[in-house]
Structure 1
Amino acid sequence: MSLPYAEVIGDPVDHSKSPLIHGFWLEALGLAGRYGRTAVSADDLPAFFAARRRDPDWRGCNVTVPHKERVIARLDRLDPLAARIGAVNTVVREADGALVGHNSDAPGFLRPLAPLLARPHLFRMARVLGTGGAARAIVAALADQGFTLVVAGRDPGKARALLDELAPGEGHHAITLAQFAEPTDFPFDDRAGCLDLVVNATSLGMAGQPPLPFDISHAPPGSLVYDIVYAPLETPLLAAARARGLPVIDGLEMLVGQAAIAFGRFFGQAPPPGGDRALRERLLA
């Protein structure tokens, strides 16, 4: 018996935790379906999508590096958020057969912040470290939530261009990442009523990557520190934040958040509520 299925594609893709996440939810809900992983090179993308268009059981795919921009040429249309960000991490086949590109990174990033964002604040500021694909989704998401943004990258010109494109308006700043590398004794003003975020949107600090050049003294008092890296789960940035008594969000939160949105689009049902702890245990096993 054939089953509806979805998958994650990338090059490489063996490291992806998406099959474990989606498989956990399919099992918990008792849904007939499956989720796999398929290594697809850039040269093979046209043939891959041509074959999947002919497969009536295929519901779509998640897209990981390096294809989040390359897949756009293979799709019939983009949803407005994906078009704005310029990257796709979820492809869904609609009832009419059209392949539609979505970006669930932005709402997935916001998912663990929902309780905080539901509260009023006098001011919201986020320091976003990075200018790559993940940073684009995060900047777009935070701009829509009324944040004043400081984007730091190796190339401040690229950071400025990112802000001008995704967060037009006054008040945002683009700086070099090196500006955060050394300790500071900057006298932060009264942060009462403010929501401050520090977000690592790079792969720096990931196992096998160079360290992130950010000294925790640059985080305002009471900041929430959010690192999208999940290998290791406790990055040096998060360890430094905890040592200062700052609240933190680790990379599994965004990973699960974006997957939850994709799952609903693939299988027509939201993940079961209240299962995040059990899922985290399985991901860390």
Structure 2
Amino acid sequence: MTELPRIPLAGVIGHPIAHSRSPALHGHWLRRYGIKGHYIPMDIAPQDLAEALKMLPRLGFVGINVTIPHKEKVLALADVVTDRAALIGAANTLIFRKDGKVHADNTDGAGFMANLRQYAPHWAPNAPVALFGAGGAARAVIAALIEVGVPEIRIANRTRLRAEQLRSDFGAKLVVHDWVHAGEMLRGAGLVINSTSLGMTGKPDLRLPLEELERGAVATDLVYTPLMTQFLIEAQERGAHVVDGLGMLLHQAAPGFERWFGKRPEVDEALRDAVLKA
């Protein structure tokens, strides 16, 4: 009797996970391309992470996305880690290979750049960048900006020590500024990025003096709930070209989907609408 091929399974692990938009995102692509597969959200506690990574491939999973609090810990559990995931110190995409090895990658920086290319195609990496925040998302963004040749990345974080650590990790292109003088970072900056959670629904707004913001500069927020944060609203009022954070989520998902399901998916307005309605 011929054995039927297994239906490929993928998903996202985190703790908690109920808020994730990834199932709506990948579900849209699976339906759009008529692929027999499933994408499942899984709440996995930290103490169960290692066991889950051993079990999921046996259950038919071809890969998973990884979110908080597992993005750093999966690196130690993977067999193969890409250079960019190692540099960033976190993985958001795992591929369960046919040879049994777990392959870890980080597509957040690529997603960030693809979002910029789609919604601010005129931006060029020839002026300083101002970056607020020094968490995992900031690390991915910094790695991507350095790769495309940005000359200087000015960074401020409420805890200065974390920004200093990033300068130590990524080198002299990073210039650390005090949070209280963060407005000065905007002078001459061609791109301004909020990578903090400030401005997210339920959190305080990112309060920045924007007097030094260059007219025509690009302002982007990694927050996407709400789509237009107070920071983006105020930046737009001062003549900046604004890019919301939803596109980064959509673009970072595409490489994983392609590896798991064998189809390079399209990031378009239909996808944005499907995720926003979820």
TM-score, scaled relative to structure 1:
0.88
Among candidates 232, 241, 256, match of residue 262 of structure 1:
256
How far apart, CA to CA, are the structure 2 residues paired with 1:49 and 1:213? 41
- Provide Cα deviations, 1:232-260, integer angstroms capped at 9, x if missing partner: 11100111112122111111110001011
Aligned to 1:134: 137
Aligned to 1:234: 228
User: Post-superposition shift, 1:161?
Assistant: 1.9
**In structure 2, the residue corresponding to 1:229 is in which secondary structure?**
coil
Shift in alpha-carbon separation, 1:187–1:125, aligned structure 2, 3 A = closer
For the pair 1:60 / 2:63, whether they are aligned, the reply is yes
Shift in alpha-carbon separation, 1:207–1:120, aligned structure 2, 3 A = closer
Asked if the contact 1:207/1:231 (under 8 Å) is kept, the reply is yes
- Structure 1 residue runs without a partner (length 5+): none
Asked if the contact 1:180/1:218 (under 8 Å) is kept, the reply is no
Among candidates 114, 133, 141, match of residue 117 of structure 2:
114
Shift in alpha-carbon separation, 1:118–1:224, aligned structure 2, 3 A = closer
- Read off the aligned partner of 2:197 and give its amino acid letter: S
Aligned to 1:253: 247
For the pair 1:34 / 2:46, whether they are aligned, the reply is no
Hey, which bits of structure 1, 4+ residues long, moved more than 4 A? 115-122
**In structure 1, the residue corresponding to 2:52 is in which secondary structure?**
helix
Identity %: 37
User: Post-superposition shift, 1:116?
Assistant: 8.8
Asked if the contact 1:228/1:254 (under 8 Å) is kept, the reply is yes
Aligned to 1:280: 272
Q: Matches of residues 46-125 of structure 1 in structure 2 within 5 Å?
A: 46-55=50-59, 57-114=60-117, 123-125=126-128
Aligned to 2:13: 9
Give the length in aligned residue pairs.
272
Of residues 154-163 and 39-48 in structure 1, the stretch that sits farther from structure 2 once superposed is 154-163
Aligned to 1:144: 147
Of residues 213-222 and 97-106 in structure 1, the stretch that sits farther from structure 2 once superposed is 213-222
Aligned to 2:178: 176
Shift in alpha-carbon separation, 1:119–1:156, aligned structure 2, 3 A = same
Shift in alpha-carbon separation, 1:253–1:116, aligned structure 2, 3 A = closer
User: Post-superposition shift, 1:216?
Assistant: 2.3
How far apart, CA to CA, are the structure 2 residues paired with 1:110 and 1:129? 17
Asked if the contact 1:124/1:146 (under 8 Å) is kept, the reply is no
- Provide Cα deviations, 1:71-110, integer angstroms capped at 9, x if missing partner: 1222112011101111011111123121011001010110
User: Post-superposition shift, 1:222?
Assistant: 1.6
TM-score, scaled relative to structure 2:
0.91
- Provide Cα deviations, 1:178-206, integer angstroms capped at 9, x if missing partner: 3236xx7x995xx6xxx710001111110
User: Post-superposition shift, 1:59?
Assistant: 0.8
